[in-house]
Structure 1
Amino acid sequence: MDLNRQPGVALHHQITTMIEDMVASGRLRDGDQLPTEEDLRAQYGVSRVTVRRALQSLEARGLLKRQRGRGTYLSVPFASAPLPMPMSAFLEAMAERRSRSTPSVKEFGFVPAPLDVATALQLEEGTVVLKVVRVRVTGRTPILHSVVYLTEDVGRRFAKADFGRAALTELLQAEGIRYDRIEMVTRATLADVTLAKLLDVAIGSALVDVMRIGYDKKGRPFEFQILRGPSDRFHTHVTIRG
């Protein structure tokens, strides 16, 4: 993903967050070797000092190990804990949440898939995908910012107006597209300049960050979605019974 170079969240923090996201999503795993400092500098278009600050932050938290003469490797001290949920229960919960807000489409168009999107959807980088950016509001209060990418064959079925009138799951169901499974990772992130403005929060405010990949009945990923919102407006309530 490209770095946001407007005033706000520091570049080294953005690089750190991107690497953490790749770990959380399974694109980087324990023991994987990271690119060299020079390669990261060229990849993100930043100074060597910025790259070193990002790596030092990850190393201080125990996520990296440097081996002299060999390189830098991931050292992940934790593993995600899957919490299976029936698909019907998940979709019902999402429908109940959506009923309390209204979507506003901010962006709609077909774009070349960035590397992280292509990886999630198991496509070649640059493959055309549909990108839709929406903000959900309750009254005048923005509660959720979402960026969804759909594979081209699925995305071509919809128009911009569709995303302003219905939820994605409802649009998919109307087209006969059913989920086989949905993988979700929930994390925390900070609001950059763009998100702060859209969500009406201060720059650097803590946000709930959810990454979601939807798979069809053939096991093919067709939806990649990133949802972000302030924790006091966007959260998940789970009840566990014995």
Structure 2
Amino acid sequence: MPPKETHPVQAVAQALTPPQRAETSNYIEIIVDYNRRPFSITWQRGTRYPNLDTFPTFTDAVVNPITQTASMRALWTQSVTFGYGSCGMLRIQDNVCFPVIKLAHSDRRFMQMIQHEFALLTSMALLDSFLPVVRVDQQPILENGEICGFRMKRLSEMCRSSLISRKSDIQDALQRLHSAGFCHGDIRGNNIMEDGAGRIMFIDFGLGGRIGSDAPEFFPGRVPRQFTAQHDWDLFDKEFQ
């Protein structure tokens, strides 16, 4: 799940989710961060996407605050919005070992995907700490006793020219991942990064798994029903064709 990057300016409402169906029929909803607090914005289907610069005053949309637990409220207070993807949002917290915070969107399926990703990342770290995958805090983020997110290291994005010039290094890293028995499931440029030493690292393992095992039922229908290395290579070839 590659993030849509934003510049964390807390005085402006920032989208945390893509537009999605609201609970009310024929309405669309997004979640935004405003002054480190979450709000929902809903509007009727067919109406123009709200201009977030005018938050919280809209002509054709309704704003409602979202209630948070004390622990989640504290986490939000200590961090700022960094971006979002299809199943989760990213936040940044300064002066900590694992500064990137990934939180699931509220839908149950997205929660399951985040839990799956965390379990996969922690199992890979325990098996081989030198695998080319983002390092995560082994302690997940809980809300009401359930895993809703996790913390990870911050890596550096790679521009298109860097990806092309390091194609062979990326191939080697992907082969090492496969040799350890895992596949990524979503190989593309946004999910390939570098650590501080310039080593290739893969992020966003929400669609990854152990090679040869079946994909969970909550995975999107477009995803192959079994984890294979070949699927990764097909995506790799498409990215670098």
TM-score of the alignment, normalized to the shorter chain, above 0.5: no
TM-score (norm 2): 0.29
> Which is richer in strand?
1
Q: Say which structure is richer in helix.
A: 1
TM-score (norm 1): 0.29
